[in-house]
Amino acid sequence: MLSDNFNRAYKDRDVPWSFREPPAELVELISSGKVKPCKTLEVGCGEGWYSIFLANAGFDITGIDFSEEAIDAAKINAEKASANCNFLVMNWKELPEMNHKFDFILDWRFLHEILNEEERKEYVKIIASLLKSDGKYLSVSFSEKSSLWGTGKVRHIRIPKGTMLYFASMEELEDLFGKYFKILGVKEIELLSKGAGYCTSNYFFVERKN
């Protein structure tokens, strides 16, 4: 199972996408007041570093990840940082089971893990359904413009072994988000993967349509 590969990577602390420091783009949203402390969900929280940052900035944060090892690490990291976070082992398909809505949802390097077009549509629909009216969603995922790990929409990466990611265009993401969201900010940014280099990525900051 793919989750076993991710569990092994987290157990070995061999996760090239995990960084303690929050990304500048997320910090800017908070410091500018575009996103104020609120009820927040982080999808694919990994070791919890960004959830911890948000918790210490006054956010009511829930972080989910399908890797038990990641969530175990996140809980330990939050305790050490004296951060009040709620971490859950959960697959994105289980999200509709949540019985509350959020003001802000953070998806930093998760959307590109969903390869199937129909599942990507389903995921975005679920995200919209979990947001309150005028709720905000930040999605950052790999762009097809990058040459990292080869070419094409679907590419194999080195870690975790056997993992494939989807490299989207700006245009298809605009179509994907357009049904449920109005776009507040869109741009290309560079994301670092330890040991591999920088990957051109698509940044979308959007708001749920009423």
What is the value of pTM for the model shown?
Answer: 0.95
The total of structural domains in the chain comes to 1
d(CA 43, CA 34): 20
| pLDDT, average across residues 41-46 | 97
Closest CA to 16 of 145, 204, 199, 201: 199
Q: What is the pLDDT of residues 77-116, one digit of tens each?
A: 999 999 999 999 999 999 999 989 999 999 999 999 999 9
| Average confidence (pLDDT) over 47-70 | 97
Phi, psi of 100 (to 5 degrees): -145, 165
Contact present, 26 and 182 (Cβ < 8 Å):
no
The range of the structural domain enclosing residue 113 comes to: 2-208
Closest CA to 25 of 191, 197, 181, 136: 191
> Which CATH number covers residue 32?
3.40.50.150
Cβ-proximal residues to 133 (8 Å cutoff; 6+ apart), any chain: 208, 210
% residues pLDDT > 70 (the chain): 95
The pLDDT-based confidence of 17 (bands split at 50, 70, 90) is confident
Give tens-digit pLDDT for 175-185: 999 999 999 99
- For residue 210, what pLDDT is reported? 86
Beta strand pairing call for 181-193 and 197-208:
antiparallel
pLDDT category of residue 158 using cuts at 50, 70 and 90: confident
